[in-house]
Structure 1
Amino acid sequence: MDSKRGRVDWRGYIPAIVTPFTSDGALDFAGLGTMLDWLHGEGMHGLVIAGTTGEWTSLTPDERCQLFTAAGRQLGHKLPLLAGCTSFTARDTIAYARHAATVGFQGILVTPPPYLRPGDDEIHGFYSDISAESPLPICVYNWPPGTGIDMSLDLLARLADIPNVVAIKQSTGDLRRFVEAFFALKDQVLVFGHSMDEHGLQLLHAAGGDGTMGAGAVLGRVHADFYNHLWAGDLDAARECGRKDRVIMEQWYTTDLVGRFGSGPAILKAGLSARGVPAGFVRPPLRDVAAEDRIKIRQTLIELGAIGPAHAKQSAA
């Protein structure tokens, strides 16, 4: 078995970040720059650019490349960057990967082609084609809510054998399936997807693990510190960080990760904006969170100590 774990230095909390847009739908590069500085200052262990949370579905190919260029120039030499290169064809994914490689990225994150629901052999062929031409290592992304496919352990094991696949983001909602994939593949590739709750903490403590590719990083350093404290051996401090993360997940999302106040990007942008981070607006067909629900989001952040009541009142204005 070829272990590819040492080919990259990805670990810890690596959020898929939002893409700031102006009120008229243009890419907000000034807002992006400020947000990237904030995320770096909050100690993120890496970032995913133009992932699901980054609304890649509304980006033109040129815009996605512009986004990679801006992020890579600003942070590519400071922390690992993964380019969200999901598309409907291997040809397009390879083109994105080639551009990302020229602007400071260290890897690509790719789901199976969404909507089409290809079979196992077709998915294996898709990733094999990408592997043969991508200049960057691949993180396979199992994302059933977005693709309609919850890849089996047998298929994930086949994908882990593909030469340029070095990691799997296992975002199944089934804890048993995550644990099975983790133990079966963790000596061969990196496996991301540990929950930041007691189950995840105990698994990480007992068996090790690589990290979590979360969404948005709305709590900033709290997310990263879950892993920082874990690595330092302070489980109680890690547990407290995980508790705050679970409050966000329970108050803002249903158990199947559907947003209570709108889409995931819209909710995260509302939360980041309440913290003073210029996350911008979402693009249609998504809609920004309604004013009454923004109050609920701010209240959660107040309860968690992420913002003070005065800041929340000012942000609402």
Structure 2
Amino acid sequence: MTKWTGVLPAVTTKFTVDDQLDVAEMERCFKLQLDAGVHGLIIAGSLGEASTLDPDEKIEVLKIALRVAGGKVPVLLTVAQGSTRGACKLAEAGAKAGAAGFMVLPGIPYKSEPHETIAHYRSVAKAGGLPVMIYSNAPAYGVDITPAMLEEMADEPLFTAIKESSDDIRRITEMKTRFGDRFAILTGVDNLALESLALGADGWVAGLVVAYPKETVAIYELAKAGRMAEAIAIYRWFRPLLDLDVSARLVQNIKLVEALAIGSNDRCRAPRIALQGAERARLTAIVQAAEAKRPALPSF
């Protein structure tokens, strides 16, 4: 069964001034990721403003990403619905539209018990019939998918990967020790990425990659090649930007960085509003400082 590894951007969703999907801008931004050498695309995640997208919009964004990817890398659809019924319907539609698989969240905002969480994941996997990345992010969603729960879920072959966002770096070692290569483990916390890769994580579901794809891919490739000193140098430069991913305003933060770094826009769908005033000035200064010291990247 396919196991995803490498850098998988959790791409943003672009909107026009009248709050429609901005197809052309998403095509441009997704292509920048492919040109930089990413290993897949994940659409309609938290960074993709999933909670504000209609189900048919999620499928449209999926189709845009599939056109840009052209079969060169897998495209995953995020399944983050409030009910298991809704999650299953979205998985069925995503499979029909051509998704390579799914990144699946618990049925948020309800904070499910372990047996409810496991039943939710099994139902979505059965409905979609495609590989699933289990998204574990207790700090954000209040549902912890523990190693003990993963032990119980390991009998389902469609569960192939884990996005580990518990903020507990020790879990990488615990899961590698307990499961070996049963699951691909991908870090989901930008400012713990290199630490996670050093401990054996197989990939990085990244956020700031949407603005700095080449640097993100370089860190991953250098780390996997054992060239840690070079990876650390880039990572230290990147760290003030990566910290912007760990915030309740990560969407606004990262969209502003995209606007400044790659000439995109930072339009969000309400109730989110693009950063203004002092906070906008603060982030702009962070990006300007990074751009002034942007490192030359080694070949790899």
- TM-score in terms of structure 2 length: 0.88
Asked if 2 retains the 8 angstrom alpha-carbon contact of 1:31 and 1:280, the reply is no
Counting aligned pairs with the same residue, the percent is 25
Task: For residue 30 of structure 1, report the CA deviation from its aligned partner.
Answer: 1.2
> 2:282 matched to which residue of 1?
296
Asked if 1 retains the 8 angstrom alpha-carbon contact of 2:101 and 2:131, the reply is yes
Residue 201 of structure 2 is aligned with which of 205, 209, 215?
209
> 1:315 matched to which residue of 2?
none
- Cα distance in 1 for partners of 2:92, 2:133 equals 15
Q: Could you say if the C-alpha distance between residues 103 and 76 of structure 1 is closer, same or farther in structure 2, counting changes exceeding 3 Å? A: farther
Task: For residue 291 of structure 1, report the CA deviation from its aligned partner.
Answer: 4.2
Residue 49 of structure 2 is aligned with which of 52, 55, 66?
55
> 1:228 matched to which residue of 2?
221
> 2:75 matched to which residue of 1?
81
Residue 39 of structure 1 is aligned with which of 33, 38, 54?
33
Residue 184 of structure 1 is aligned with which of 168, 171, 178?
178
1:245 corresponds to 2:231: no
- TM-score in terms of structure 1 length: 0.84
For CA contacts below 8 A with separation 6 or more, give which structure has more relative contact order. Answer: 1
> 1:149 matched to which residue of 2?
143
- Cα distance in 1 for partners of 2:160, 2:292 equals 35
Matching residue's letter, 1:95: K
Q: Could you say if the C-alpha distance between residues 106 and 196 of structure 1 is closer, same or farther in structure 2, counting changes exceeding 3 Å? A: same
Asked if 1 retains the 8 angstrom alpha-carbon contact of 2:101 and 2:132, the reply is yes
Aligned residues: 293
Q: Could you say if the C-alpha distance between residues 8 and 294 of structure 1 is closer, same or farther in structure 2, counting changes exceeding 3 Å? A: same
- Cα distance in 2 for partners of 1:18, 1:63 equals 13
Task: For residue 46 of structure 1, report the CA deviation from its aligned partner.
Answer: 1.3
1:98 corresponds to 2:98: no
Matching residue's letter, 1:297: L
Q: Could you say if the C-alpha distance between residues 147 and 196 of structure 1 is closer, same or farther in structure 2, counting changes exceeding 3 Å? A: closer
Task: For residue 87 of structure 1, report the CA deviation from its aligned partner.
Answer: 1.0
Q: Which runs of 5+ in 1 are unaligned?
A: 1-6, 309-317
Asked if 2 retains the 8 angstrom alpha-carbon contact of 1:88 and 1:113, the reply is yes
Asked if 1 retains the 8 angstrom alpha-carbon contact of 2:6 and 2:203, the reply is yes
- Cα distance in 2 for partners of 1:302, 1:291 equals 17
Q: Could you say if the C-alpha distance between residues 163 and 115 of structure 1 is closer, same or farther in structure 2, counting changes exceeding 3 Å? A: same
- Cα distance in 1 for partners of 2:126, 2:46 equals 24
RMSD, matched Cα: 2.4
- Cα distance in 1 for partners of 2:125, 2:32 equals 33
Asked if 1 retains the 8 angstrom alpha-carbon contact of 2:172 and 2:196, the reply is no
Q: Spell out, residue by residue over 1:93-125, the C-alpha distance to the aligned partner (whole angstroms, 9 max, x if none).
A: 233223333444211001111121111111111
- Cα distance in 2 for partners of 1:38, 1:112 equals 31
Asked if 2 retains the 8 angstrom alpha-carbon contact of 1:34 and 1:278, the reply is no
